[in-house]
Amino acid sequence: MKRRPRRSTPAVLVALVLLAGCVLAGVVAVQLILGQAPWISYADVAGRLHATRWNDLAPALVGAATGVLGLVLLAAAILPGELVVLPLQGETGSGASRRSYRSTLRVAASDVDGVSRAELKVGRRKVVARVRTARTNTEGLSDAVRTAIQRRLAQIAPVPVPAVRVRITSTRSTS
């Protein structure tokens, strides 16, 4: 199972802009029907638009901004997002959430003797573990953490088995 995130943020933004435009048009229409002075005068807007030249700066800026916004929304709709559910070997449709995957690997790294804190970054093809230790001699700790993470990965059995990188930071100095 490969589940990608929904594209709800761009959709909500577009919907809110369209809703605001429709509400504004509706309010102005009701004001005109009731004989009141509208918030936005059609004559003023039309007069400004007719007075504007195509070679002025304002139409170029509005056109460029609209084009950039359109490209950003198009890219958000087309480009795939980061997987929310990572596929696992075995049954078709089995998967693990990225959050549980990361926390399980973090626990495996934290359980290694000498590790005081572990942070993991889970990517598509690699897992990067940043490990803090109070040891002055960190020799062999990197291999122990890597082995613990790889052992847990073998138990989880993700479809693309990621490469594991370990970065050790010592809180003590060797002096």
- Please state the φ and ψ torsions of residue 119, each to the nearest 5 degrees: -125, 135
State mean pLDDT over 146-163: 89
**Statement: residue 173 has pLDDT above 80:** no
Q: Is the domain defined by 85-170 classed in CATH 3.30.70.1350?
A: yes
State mean pLDDT over 49-61: 90
Q: pLDDT band at 5, cuts 50/70/90?
A: low
- Tell me the C-alpha distance between 87 and 2, whole Å: 6
The alpha carbon torsion through 92, 163, 119, 111 (nearest 10 deg) reads: 80
Lookup: tokens for 86: 């990572």
Look at 7-11, 111-115, 153-157 and tell me which has the smallest mean pLDDT: 7-11
- Closest among 70, 72, 82 to 2, alpha carbons compared: 82
Mean pLDDT over each residue of the chain, to the nearest integer: 86
In percent, the amount of the chain with pLDDT more than 70 equals: 93
pLDDT of residue 2: 57
State mean pLDDT over 67-71: 93
pLDDT digits (tens, 9 = 90+) for 23-35: 999 999 999 999 9
State mean pLDDT over 136-156: 89
Q: Are 134 and 170 in contact (CB under 8 A)?
A: yes
Domain ranges of the chain: 8-78, 85-170
State mean pLDDT over 124-145: 88
Angle, helices 98-110 vs 141-156, to 10°: value is: 140
- Please state the φ and ψ torsions of residue 131, each to the nearest 5 degrees: -115, 135
- Closest among 107, 93, 85 to 153, alpha carbons compared: 107
pLDDT of residue 15: 92
pTM (two decimals): 0.59
**Statement: residue 174 has pLDDT above 70:** no
State mean pLDDT over 52-74: 91
State mean pLDDT over 154-162: 85
DSSP element (H, E) containing 166 = strand 163-170
- Closest among 91, 112, 102 to 162, alpha carbons compared: 102
- Tell me the C-alpha distance between 166 and 115, whole Å: 12
